[in-house]
Structure 1
Amino acid sequence: MKIFNRILIANRGEIVARILKTAHQMGTEVVVLYTSDDTDHTYIKAADKAVLLKGNTLADTFLNKERIIDIALANSVDAIHPGYGFLSENADFAQMCKAVGIKWIGPSPNVIRLMGYKRSAREFAEKLGVPVLHARYGSADELRKYRDVLQYPVMIKAQAGGGGKGMRIVRNAEDFEDALHITGREAGMFFGDESLYIEEFIEEARHIEVQVFGDNFGNVIHMHERECTVQRRHQKIIEEAPAAGISDALRGSLHQNAVKLAKAAKYRNAGTVEFIVDRNENFYFLEMNTRIQVEHPVTELVTNIDVVKEQLLIAAGNEFAFTQDEVICRGHALECRLYAEDPENGFMPQNGTLTLNAAPELKSVRVDGSFEKTAGMSSAYDPLIAKVITGGNDRLEAMKNMIGALEDYKIQGVKTNKGFLTNLLKSPVLIQNKIYTQYCDLYADRHTDFVVLPDERFVIAWFFLNSGITGRSSSVWSKLGNWRHQQVNNLTVADKTYHVSGYKINDADWQLTVNAKNYRCSQPRFMEYELQFVLLNEPVKVTWSQKTDRSFYIEIDHTIHLVQPNIVKRKLTESDAQLKARNVVSPLPGRVMRVYVTPGEKVVKGKAMLVIESMKIENRIVADHDSTVKSVLVTEGQQLNGNDLVIELE
């Protein structure tokens, strides 16, 4: 069996940690890349060598083909694994590797050009008799002529797109021009190619894909299918294998057509053929991803095949060690993508510091991640924190295991979609598999967390944490001494003010006063990330992390509040309120993608004024009241730091 001595992983984040793990198990050395934003990733220490990429933009770092090739040559690597995203489907980069004698862990450059480009892939599929949706191709200027002849709704897509980027649903002619402009700009920014196509849009569709593999000897197999219908903003958040509730005929047709495509393309290494399926089980080819997929772990769980290992073996020149008949799908698997985002606010990405990132340590749960227990989330990258993967004998068991895993995942410091995912998994729409690709965008509010208002439990938890943070066991409480009064602490929780003081009565009991009301507490037990105590004969379980010296994130009943010493705020005057109403500020750092308004224009509440791209997600900033635009202070393409003044209103 041939194996590589040393590889370079041209990527960042969890996929680097995932590839490194398998490579080391195979005895292969690994070189990784990182930027100044990546110092909190575990693989930097685990790699055989880590190389710093200097620069402030993706063009300087993970999209810098020449620099990455130079690093690979300087470190005498045998091969480059591109992971997903960045240069993973860049045929020119694959060709550059080949030109300098470095193996590319993926398909050939010619196949990437054929199947990675949407128009050529669709035309290739159509010639083979694989069903495709009707489409029109061209630049934004060339496609404008179809505005009044299209049958809406339609989808505008980037020809070189992938990963849910460069896609817009258009439901009427009035929105066509704007969607065309934004999609073209996004295509140019993310893929370096502004070519687009317009495709029929299928309402209430399912997204099902087939994992295929080709070796160097003409063999092509499939590793069954995955369901990827649960999405937000065209990006997947829950994936599962196999697809549930489809007929054997459809399943067989998807497998057959995926293999037919891969064989005809002379495909080598891992790839994914994606299909859209309507309510009547009509299916249509969407695209082929010529790389490893984010969701590959669910395939690994149901087939017991290490996809990364097979990638490395095939790229090294080996033949499959198994046949199609030996690739058996057993049980069911789910993957949830844990993102730093706010489901209550349009899934807006959240940057900041993870004060606590403690994944469940259970044999039945797999977590693919790379962040340390505390880490910084950069606005320059995708907001993915980790992938949580569970299996079961059937779908319901896998879902039950996933709910338990998410509830046991301790994460604080930034808002996440953990609660949203948990609620969705418990809902009839997912249990009965009645979901479709647009569901989460339309009905997110049905599954957002019920927020528990702050009460005395949060304040009492803060008191114990503040008193005992210097210790790491229950014995810490003895240092305070019997009948020792504590000073009154003035706290703020969710803009409410609390006053708390207390003293220890005996070895087990405490007397606490919160806003002049007395409480008897007992048995405080202080652990890493957890605090337990009994209040009014009821046990209270707390998950906590420290933000600053005396401020803590405290989680009770799946609700997190920041509890901190009271900060006296100047009372907002009428002039302050008027000034705030006249100013529009950026709620997060990012790049201005689109400005919709001009000075003197009247805007109504809810009108989109601009789009800011942050963490690879577009965020529409809308007017919160009727007004008139006085001045626009930003331009398209401008980088924002967050809280920047962008528009003045009269």
Structure 2
Amino acid sequence: MPTFTKLLVANRGEIAARVIRTARALGYETVAVYSTPDTDGLAVSLADEAVHIGPAPAAESYLNVEAILAAARRTGADAIHPGYGFLSENAAFAQACADANIVFVGPPPAAIEAMGDKALAKARMIAADVPTVPGYQAPEGDELSLEQAKSEAAAIGYPVLLKAVAGGGGRGMRRVDAPDQLEAAMASASREAQNAFGSGTLLLEKLVEGARHVEIQVFADAHGNALHLGERDCSAQRRHQKIIEESPCVVVDEGLRARMGAAAVAAAKAVDYVGAGTVEFLLTSEGAFYFLEMNTRLQVEHPVTELVTGLDLVEWQLEVAAGHELQLVQEQILLRGHAIEVRLYAEDPNAGFVPQTGEILAWRPADNQGLRVDHGLLVGRGRGQRIGSDYDPMVAKVIAYGDTREQARRRLLLGLRDTVLFGPTHNKRFLIDLLRHETFVAGEVTTAFVESEPGRSLVAPPSAPPAEAVALAAVIWLEALRDHAHPRPGVPVAWHSAHHSSSAIELRCGDQLTGLTLRPGPGAHDRPRWTVEQAGADAVEITLLADDGVRLRFVCDGRQRQAHYAWTAEHGLQLELDSHTYEFAEHRPHEGSSDPSSDGSDGRVRAPTMGRVLALWAELGQRVEPGARLLTLEAMKIESTITSPIAGTVTELRAAVGDQVDKAQVLVTITPEQPSEGTTDDR
């Protein structure tokens, strides 16, 4: 019977920290591995030991099998938990662990291989009578050709979906609505799949529209026992990337749960599965369901299942890996209450959800009743921790539990509001708006919702800050300048005299420039009171009640409120009020302006984020129209195609395929077209 005493976690961030906590609670010694930028990560601080395995690129660290096995040998670790992502679904890694007499906390290599190849998995499911989506896959060993794709798509009927045979998570997946889109979609999907999974092989399926994405958590042991732990609804997603997950699904009754659960268990048994796995289905409004894929690992969204079942799934994984039988049977699995999880990402919803990078300025997860926040950051410490371009941009998972779905939703909204994150642009406000949307409240979200017209309305252009936000920013600014005894990080010294009876300042937020005059009012020394006057708006009275450098309590025109703030490295101020974040900078015209055009209207097309150039579509001297493809950038395994903002001629290319580029770096210069000279009409 397998047994082990020391567990190495071959992952990073929140999942590594989460596994280490459970392992230590069970009495196992733990080992963390880390790349150079993760030296001071939370998982490293929680583990008994930690080993450096390489530089930032995953291929040289978290995907480096030999480095991970060497770390296990060096520390005496006799078991490895892969977390999710990286090597978690790598059959060769699982086999390498077995060859090294190390327990792999996951399924057997053969099961990973069978389910990791979507074509092979689909064939197995058909043989096991598990319902599958109509589609076509080339014979084993062959690639899907453009001619085959056109013929089969015509037979299946548009729209169709191209899917990478290897991997998952929405990568290597493209929707195709017409034959003339196939060639470009195949090239893009294959390239993304090759880059993410090492294989560009594709298959073709009918696109089932208006369906829900519902997955079943399964568990199996090495003694022939298998069961399911209910379902999770993952329908709120964009570009096949999950945003919100919940359990149970509002449209799944006991009968449907039993049928889907039985199909999921049959899928697991068809490949002699052992451990934790997730079988994903498309569920139509008529109650029909179709097998999508099986993820042979723990899922990002596993906490919602833990909250409604009261079970620790990592504990179950470790028990099964140690050779023990499952301690419960299907009839003992009960779902109680409701749980909802959101993924807090460093990404810009207003720029196509492009991943964002940069220094964390402040991080304070909420600690409310019924709330759980899984993350990999050090609480209370912001500066020095960074979101880089080498890994997934997820910062944290915020999960709420309640007796009812509505209670869980309310708790989640409150938890998001109380969670403080400053630094890179993030999707917190988008998540709040989605949770409040009437379609989500009614439990009617399908996989198409976020990218539909109602869903796109959630991504609105940033609005100008309200008068009270501008006034509060000015007060924070002035108080920081006056506090010479306790200078704030990021605040430049000696901008203005700290002893004037009134102060004037100009603040810029986006395109809005506001001149403000601040006059002190009567108040206690520790409760500064200011009247803030700004052109075109009524005066605003603000009294500061409490300020710990991040969270601030204040009174504005008789109403006591709360805000959060952080200073940026560029001497700017990020202020969050009512869950909206604004960034302010002092306007000092005597220093001149070097602010470049950010929309490319000046012909300089900049990188929206750090990343690597995957493809160049434009050539020097080429004439382009607005919307023409210029290049494709990959950031954190997500592809973004950058297009021309204007009509003109490409006169400079500053990046080549394979180059790493920085955010805001000029990539392409386009000389705008000059208006053609016409005849003058002197009539």
What is the TM-score normalised by the length of structure 2? Answer: 0.88
- Is the CA contact (8 Å cut-off) linking 1:338 and 1:418 kept in structure 2? yes
Report what 1:127 is aligned to.
127
Report what 1:433 is aligned to.
443
- Is the CA contact (8 Å cut-off) linking 1:227 and 1:241 kept in structure 2? yes
- Is the CA contact (8 Å cut-off) linking 1:338 and 1:388 kept in structure 2? yes
- Within 2, Cα distance between the matches of 1:638 and 1:243? 44
Q: Which segment drifts farther, 122-131 or 348-357?
A: 348-357
Report what 1:44 is aligned to.
44
Quick one: percent identity of the two aligned structures? 35
- Within 1, Cα distance between the matches of 2:485 and 2:570? 11
Residue number among 444, 452, 462 corresponding to 2:477 in the alignment: 462
Q: Is 1:451 paired with 2:472? A: no
Report what 1:478 is aligned to.
none
Letter matched to residue 18 of structure 1: R
Residue number among 277, 285, 289 corresponding to 1:279 in the alignment: 285
- Within 2, Cα distance between the matches of 1:276 and 1:579? 40
Residue number among 148, 153, 162 corresponding to 1:145 in the alignment: 148
Letter matched to residue 476 of structure 2: A
- Within 1, Cα distance between the matches of 2:226 and 2:597? 67
- Is the CA contact (8 Å cut-off) linking 2:137 and 2:144 kept in structure 1? no
Post-superposition CA distance 1:183-225 (Å, at most 9, x none): 1111111111121111111111211111111112110011111
Report what 2:114 is aligned to.
114
Residue aligned with 2:605, SS: strand
The Cα of 1:511 is off from its aligned counterpart by: 4.5
1:28-43 aligned within 5 A:
28-43=28-43
Q: Which segment drifts farther, 98-107 or 4-13?
A: 4-13
Structure 1 unaligned spans of 5+:
474-481
- Is the CA contact (8 Å cut-off) linking 1:554 and 1:560 kept in structure 2? yes
Aligned residue pairs total 642
Residue aligned with 2:137, SS: strand
The Cα of 1:454 is off from its aligned counterpart by: 4.9
Letter matched to residue 171 of structure 2: K
- Within 2, Cα distance between the matches of 1:56 and 1:549? 25
Report what 2:352 is aligned to.
346
Shift in CA distance, 269/149, structure 1 to aligned 2, threshold 3 Å: closer
Residue number among 362, 365, 373 corresponding to 1:359 in the alignment: 365
Q: Which segment drifts farther, 451-460 or 239-248?
A: 451-460
1:116-265 aligned within 5 A:
116-138=116-138, 142-147=145-150, 150=153, 151-265=157-271
Letter matched to residue 459 of structure 1: A
- Within 2, Cα distance between the matches of 1:527 and 1:56? 34
- Is the CA contact (8 Å cut-off) linking 2:600 and 2:606 kept in structure 1? no
- Is the CA contact (8 Å cut-off) linking 2:598 and 2:606 kept in structure 1? no
- Within 1, Cα distance between the matches of 2:92 and 2:66? 11
Q: Is 1:103 paired with 2:113? A: no
- Within 2, Cα distance between the matches of 1:173 and 1:581? 36
Q: Which segment drifts farther, 495-504 or 88-97?
A: 495-504
Report what 2:607 is aligned to.
586
- Is the CA contact (8 Å cut-off) linking 1:460 and 1:500 kept in structure 2? no
Shift in CA distance, 128/423, structure 1 to aligned 2, threshold 3 Å: same
Report what 1:477 is aligned to.
none
The Cα of 1:506 is off from its aligned counterpart by: 4.5
- Within 2, Cα distance between the matches of 1:601 and 1:204? 41
Residue number among 479, 483, 493 corresponding to 2:509 in the alignment: 493
Post-superposition CA distance 1:527-546 (Å, at most 9, x none): 34222233433434321122
Q: Which segment drifts farther, 317-326 or 129-138?
A: 129-138
Letter matched to residue 220 of structure 1: A
Residue number among 605, 613, 618 corresponding to 2:634 in the alignment: 613
The Cα of 1:604 is off from its aligned counterpart by: 2.5
- Within 1, Cα distance between the matches of 2:557 and 2:144? 70
- Within 1, Cα distance between the matches of 2:83 and 2:50? 16
Q: Is 1:408 paired with 2:418? A: yes
- Is the CA contact (8 Å cut-off) linking 1:137 and 1:143 kept in structure 2? no
Letter matched to residue 464 of structure 1: E
What is the TM-score normalised by the length of structure 1? Answer: 0.92
Post-superposition CA distance 1:226-264 (Å, at most 9, x none): 111111121101001111113443322210111111123
Residue aligned with 2:41, SS: coil
Q: Which segment drifts farther, 7-16 or 486-495?
A: 486-495
Supply the RMSD in Å over aligned alpha carbons.
2.8
Letter matched to residue 598 of structure 1: E
Letter matched to residue 76 of structure 1: G
Structure 2 unaligned spans of 5+:
489-497, 672-683
The Cα of 1:607 is off from its aligned counterpart by: 3.0
Post-superposition CA distance 1:148-171 (Å, at most 9, x none): 552221111111121221111111
Q: Which segment drifts farther, 216-225 or 613-622?
A: 613-622
Q: Which segment drifts farther, 440-449 or 58-67?
A: 440-449
- Within 2, Cα distance between the matches of 1:133 and 1:501? 65
- Is the CA contact (8 Å cut-off) linking 1:511 and 1:518 kept in structure 2? no
Post-superposition CA distance 1:376-428 (Å, at most 9, x none): 11111111010011111121121111111111111122221111111111111
Report what 1:24 is aligned to.
24
- Within 2, Cα distance between the matches of 1:134 and 1:576? 48
